[in-house]
Every structure is written in C-alpha cells, then in structure tokens.
Amino acid sequence: MKRMIVTGSSGLIGSAVCEYFHGQGWEIHGIDNNQRAVFFGPEGDTRWNQHRLQETLSRFTHHELDVRDRSNVLGAVEQIQPKAIVHAAAQPSHDRAAAIPFDDFDTNAVGTLNLLEATRRFAPEAPFVLLSTNKVYGDAPNRIALEELETRWDYNDPAYEQGIPESLCIDQCKHSLFGASKSAADLLTQEYGLYFGMKTCCLRGGCLTGPGHSGVELHGFLSYLIRCNLEQRPYRVYGYKGKQVRDNIHSLDVARFIDGFIRAPRCGEVYNIGGGKANSCSILEAFELAERLSGEPMQFEYDERNRIGDHICYYSDLRKARAHYPEWDITVSLEQIFEQIAAAWRVRMRKGSGV
C-alpha cells in the first residue's frame, strides 16, 4: 500500500489532504504537534481535527512530531518510506512572525530543509509538495496600477487581467518576516528539485480556506470573518477602506491539484494556487455574502493603518496550473465556500467547543 507523509495534518490543508488521499487508498502518516495553539492561543487549537481524523480514517497514523526536530524528522521519513510528502506545517501569520522571528524561521525555513533533506536521503523518488504562500511576492503586487471600484480594488493593467502570474519578481520588496521565511522554504524546495532532480513543487497559495479551518484574527480570513458574523463579534478591518481583495480556494480543490502533481510530477516547479478572479472578493464583499447567508448584520471596526506588506489586491493567475494539469480546475464556488464554513461553525458553536 502507498504511504504518504502529511505535515500539519491537523490543519486546514493537511487534514483535507489526509481525507482526500485516504479516500484514494493511501496509508496516511500525519505529522503535527498542535503548534497552531502555541502561535495563536486556544482559539487556534487543532486537536479537535486530529481526533476527528483518528476516529474517521482507518489508515491514518498520527505522529506527535515538530518539523524543527531534525533527527526525528530524518528518522520518521526513513522508517515510513513514503511514496509522497505533502508539507503543510507552518507558522502561517505575517503579523505574528514579527513577535516570534526565531520560531517563525525555524518552523518555516529550517523545518522545510529538514524534510527536504530527509526526502533526498531516504525517499528520493517521492514527489514533495510544499504549501508555500503568495506572500513570497511581498508587496510587489501593490506596484501594479489599480483602480478603485465601489466595493473593491482591481488591477488596471491588461497584463494582470487574469491575476498574478508565477513570473512576478519576488525581489526588492517588503515581505514581512513570515514572507521571508516562506520565501526561503520556497527557494529550497525549488533548489532540491532543480539541483538534485527531485520531484518538488511549491504551491503559492492565495486564501486557502474551507470548513476545516480554525480561523483566528491573525490567520484564516474567511473562516474568522464568518465566525465573527455568526457570533456577532466585531471584525477589525485594517486599511484600504475594506476594499482589499483576495482569491479564495477550497481545501478540496487544493488537494485535487496535489493529486494531479503526484500522478505526473515535475522537478522544481512553482504554481500560484488560489480561487482566481472568479472566487475573489474584497472584505466589503465578504461582509455582504456573510450577511446574506446568516441574516445578521456584520459588526466591524475600522483601523486606517494597513498591515505591513499587505496586498491591496491579489488573485492568482491559474493559467499555468491549468495548462500543466488540464484535468484540474476550481470546483467549489465562493458561495459554496461561505455556506460550508458557516455550517461548520454552527456545528462547533452548538457543541460549545468554540474552536
């Protein structure tokens, strides 16, 4: 039976990957140590998701392991002998990174190096997928000509009509420390593919989302926004009049793309992976969708100070991903994403877990 290692297995993408590939007949080895609760406090706790996977997936094994633990990461890959590795573990917040720079870099950059080297030594034929981020582009997207519309900012340059391509330069721009640590991980993953001939790819995600997200203010845009609406707590908007735009992709569609790459891997590839223009929305537009779904008004506070390095408008150009993997495309619409996240929060609120 084929074995897969999934790091960050209790998180949004990790758990979705575990479920998807378990359904494809794989034996899943999840690596997670609930570091999200350390980074974000009790509301970021993912133990509930770990327990759900252990209860529902018969071929899932949980490994309580920190990706920064080099010797045990090497030992795990040597022992498991995976046929594929999906690396979704990370410190995911560019705001939080400034307060914990060593933890951020050691988790994102050094943890990725540990896994890549373990793969090279003990499973060199295994496709390796890194969940990277659009923050590797820093604030370079903000240099593109924009136009202000009634409810959003949008690109005012025909070259970016379809969104941000993988060719956008990542140099000479402000990234946040999180963006810098993830850029290091991204470059290492490319290099292990190009230098050693390993089957690696970086997925530079937009807003990866879905009902499995433990959304908090510092990470998990849609999940946290919808939760605020349902609980009638104020959501804080940082700058840009609430018209900043993100593209949103369901965790299932991310898992489906990973499946395509594992079936037909390439060396050292990079893909922008998000919802594209069709699944994009501004914060103001997200407010409207949440209100329409719940029937409750959106409570919010406005702070004129934008977050450092924040994108004014970002949505992914998906043409390269679609060209390389033509059987893949977005299957879950923005409206369906909202409905699923709201339903998941209602269940958790009824159970009284709050997480």
Number of C-beta neighbours around residue 343 at 10 A: 12
Q: Which segments of 282-333 does DSSP mark as H helices, in order?
A: 283-294, 319-324
* Domain that residue 10 falls in: 3-351
Q: Could you give the CA distance from residue 308 to residue 237 in angstroms, rounded to a whole number?
A: 14
Domain count, the chain: 1
What radius of gyration, in Å, describes the C-alpha atoms of the chain?
A: 19
How do residues 150-200 score in pLDDT, each as one tens digit?
999 999 999 999 999 999 999 999 999 999 999 999 999 999 999 999 999
Q: How confident is the model at residue 208 (pLDDT cuts 50, 70, 90)?
A: very high
- Average pLDDT in the chain: 95
Q: Could you give the CA distance from residue 99 to residue 228 in angstroms, rounded to a whole number?
A: 25
How do residues 292-334 score in pLDDT, each as one tens digit?
999 999 999 999 998 887 899 999 999 999 999 999 999 999 9
Which run of H or of E encompasses 270? strand 269-273
The predicted pLDDT at position 95 comes to 82
* Lowest model confidence (mean pLDDT) among 159-163, 205-209, 215-219: 215-219
| CATH number of the domain encompassing residue 188 | 3.40.50.720
How do residues 39-94 score in pLDDT, each as one tens digit?
888 888 899 999 999 999 999 999 999 999 999 999 999 999 999 999 999 998 87
Percent of the chain past pLDDT 70, that is, above it, reads 99
